[in-house]
Structure 1
Amino acid sequence: MRSWILVPADNDKALDSVAGAGADVVVVDLARAMTSTQHSKARIETTNWLRSHREQVVAARRFERWARISGLDTPHWREDLDAAMDGSPHGIVLANCRGTDDIRQLASVLYEIEDRLGLAANVTRIVPELGSTPSVALTVNRLTEELHPRVSALTWDAVGLAHAIGARRLRGPGGRWSDALAHVRAQVLLIAHARGIGALEHPFRDTRDTDTGKRVAEAARADGFTGMFAIHAGQLAGINEAFAPLDSELAEARSIVSAFATNPGASQVALGDRRIGQNDLQRAKRLLGED
């Protein structure tokens, strides 16, 4: 899943048009700042949109349906979750995730809701949004040791962390992330690859500068990210192009899958002059769309 677009749950126009925008994943965003009245209406819109797009007859390409909910440190996260789950989404993006305890709690509630709605157990995946505060940023590495099996990818919150530490910029000279943000970004990327799951880059905020947005996406792919968030449909083409696999990458991925297929049950196999493991296999399957 290369391109993930965040769509405001309270923006009817954006919701109406996003199905044909070309995203691999549409994330209806309930975690935005809204008044109580707006939030209540947005939950209804979220449920309706997720339900109405189960059958993607008119979409230009098939996409997954996700929802982003408020962090578990807020009083209304459960209402967000209930509204999203009534639409049977493929997964939940958890804003302001504070770590393994939040993921474990969300997973437990998801299990109860799935049982109540008659959904298959553990069918709803989780993408935690990490690093929103300094204290969380310093404990991200704990996910290396403990990560719930529902978690299919990791992402991070550059803007939230910048606000939390009073930073006046996200990037320094040459477009490089400032040191504190780069630290969190690197941890998220490394942990995702260590656990054999996806790593999703933070969205580029300037929706008018499509050229720079594409270069940012290309840099994220070059650094090892597997996908990226967009906040406007105009960013999707650049992200999809930047993350499109090269022919050489596809050929190698097929070779990895084939090597393991001929050695069922093996934890490692030889491929050329190197040894490859299960993380390599998972990455290859993800590249081929077999995950």
Structure 2
Amino acid sequence: MRSWLLAPADKEKALTQASTAGAHVVVVDLSRAAPEERKQQTRLAARDFLMSHREQLVAARKFARWVRVGPMVGMEWRQDLAAALEGGPEGIVLAECHGPEQVKELAAALYEIEGRVGLKTGSTRIVPEVGGSAASALRLHHFADELHARVSGLLWDSAALARSLGARRMRGPGGLWTDALAHVRAQVLLAAHARGLDALEAPFRNLREPEGMKRAAQAAAADGFSGMLAISDTQVADINTAFRPSQEEIAEARELVGLFALNPDAERIAFRGRYVGQAELAKAKALTG
């Protein structure tokens, strides 16, 4: 899943546009702060959107439906989660995640709510949004050491990190990430690959620079990220194009899958001058599936 489109749950127009944007994943954002009365309306809007697109997912696989909740302060995130799961989303993006212990807390809440609303136990996946503060950035190595089975990817939070540092910019000359942000980005990429997870690039936030957006998406794909967040439906096509596998990559993946099919009991196999294992096979299957 290459393009992840973040759509505010309190903006009906954004949700409508998201459903036809061509994104592989639509992430309904419930994490935005609001007065309680408005928050209740937003939860209902998110639930209704998820439910209205539930059948199309089964029938045509147009896009996966995820929800962003958090941060895990007070009880609001639990109320957001309960409303969201009534719509049966495929996964939850946990905003401002400070460590694996918060993932475990979210997973425990998911088990409880899944049973209550009739979802299959363990069916809801998790993508934590990590590295949003200096303290959490310094603990990123824990995501490579201990991780809940529900976690399918890692996403880093460039905007939150910049705010926590008091940074006046996120990118420097040529659109490159500033040093501190680039350091966190690299750690997230390494941790994700160490655990065989999706690595998701932070969104490009300047909607007035479409060429900068294209370069950012191309750089993320070239650096080894598996997908990227979009904050507008206008960014989706560029992300899909940047992360689309080449014909050479698809051919290589098919060759690898074929070799393992001929050697079904092999854990590792010689392939194009190197040894590859089950992790590479899983990536090849995802590429050709």
TM-score w.r.t. the length of structure 1 is: 0.95
Note if contact 1:28-1:66 (Cα within 8 Å) is conserved in structure 2: yes
Q: Which residue of 1 aligns with 2:205?
A: 205
Q: CA deviation at 1:113?
A: 1.5
CA distance in 2, matches of 1:11, 1:62: 21
Flag the 1:75–1:236 CA change in 2: closer, same or farther, 3 A: same
Note if contact 2:31-2:95 (Cα within 8 Å) is conserved in structure 1: yes
1:73 aligns with 2:73: yes
CA distance in 1, matches of 2:287, 2:150: 19
CA distance in 2, matches of 1:261, 1:195: 24
Q: How many matched pairs?
A: 288
SS of alignment partner, residue 31 of structure 1: coil
SS of alignment partner, residue 115 of structure 2: helix
Q: Which residue of 1 aligns with 2:276?
A: 276
User: Deviations along 1:135-174, whole A, 9 cap, x unmatched?
Assistant: 1000011111111111111100001011001111101222
Q: Which residue of 1 aligns with 2:181?
A: 181
Alignment of 1:154-169 (within 5 A): 154-169=154-169
Q: CA deviation at 1:74?
A: 4.1
Note if contact 1:194-1:279 (Cα within 8 Å) is conserved in structure 2: no
Note if contact 1:156-1:202 (Cα within 8 Å) is conserved in structure 2: yes
Note if contact 1:8-1:30 (Cα within 8 Å) is conserved in structure 2: yes
SS of alignment partner, residue 92 of structure 1: strand
The residue type equivalent to 1:156 in the other structure is W
1:149 aligns with 2:137: no
User: Deviations along 1:10-65, whole A, 9 cap, x unmatched?
Assistant: 001111222111000000000123232222111010111000101228x9971000
The residue type equivalent to 1:266 in the other structure is A
CA distance in 2, matches of 1:90, 1:199: 17
Q: Which residue of 1 aligns with 2:45?
A: 45
Note if contact 1:22-1:60 (Cα within 8 Å) is conserved in structure 2: no
Note if contact 1:20-1:61 (Cα within 8 Å) is conserved in structure 2: no
The residue type equivalent to 2:259 in the other structure is A
The residue type equivalent to 1:278 in the other structure is Q
Q: Which residue of 2 aligns with 1:286?
A: 286
Q: CA deviation at 1:200?
A: 0.6
Q: Which residue of 1 aligns with 2:234?
A: 234
Note if contact 1:195-1:279 (Cα within 8 Å) is conserved in structure 2: no
Flag the 1:129–1:3 CA change in 2: closer, same or farther, 3 A: same
SS of alignment partner, residue 49 of structure 1: helix
Q: Which moved more, 1:69-78 or 1:124-133?
A: 69-78
Note if contact 2:154-2:198 (Cα within 8 Å) is conserved in structure 1: yes
Note if contact 2:175-2:212 (Cα within 8 Å) is conserved in structure 1: no
Flag the 1:116–1:83 CA change in 2: closer, same or farther, 3 A: same
Q: CA deviation at 1:208?
A: 2.5
C-alpha RMSD of the superposition = 1.6
Note if contact 2:172-2:178 (Cα within 8 Å) is conserved in structure 1: yes
Q: Which residue of 2 aligns with 1:111?
A: 111
Alignment of 1:8-47 (within 5 A): 8-47=8-47
Q: Which residue of 1 aligns with 2:3?
A: 3
The residue type equivalent to 1:190 in the other structure is L
In the alignment, structure 1 segments of 5+ residues that lack a partner are: none
1:217 aligns with 2:217: yes
The residue type equivalent to 2:246 in the other structure is L
Q: Which moved more, 1:111-120 or 1:6-15?
A: 111-120
SS of alignment partner, residue 56 of structure 1: helix
CA distance in 2, matches of 1:75, 1:115: 20
CA distance in 2, matches of 1:228, 1:104: 25
Q: Which residue of 1 aligns with 2:83?
A: 83
Note if contact 1:196-1:280 (Cα within 8 Å) is conserved in structure 2: no
Q: Which residue of 1 aligns with 2:249?
A: 249
CA distance in 2, matches of 1:191, 1:129: 13
User: Deviations along 1:222-280, whole A, 9 cap, x unmatched?
Assistant: 11111000010000110000000000111111122222222224321111211012221
SS of alignment partner, residue 155 of structure 2: strand
Q: Which moved more, 1:265-274 or 1:247-256?
A: 265-274
User: Deviations along 1:62-88, whole A, 9 cap, x unmatched?
Assistant: 100000001213431100100110100
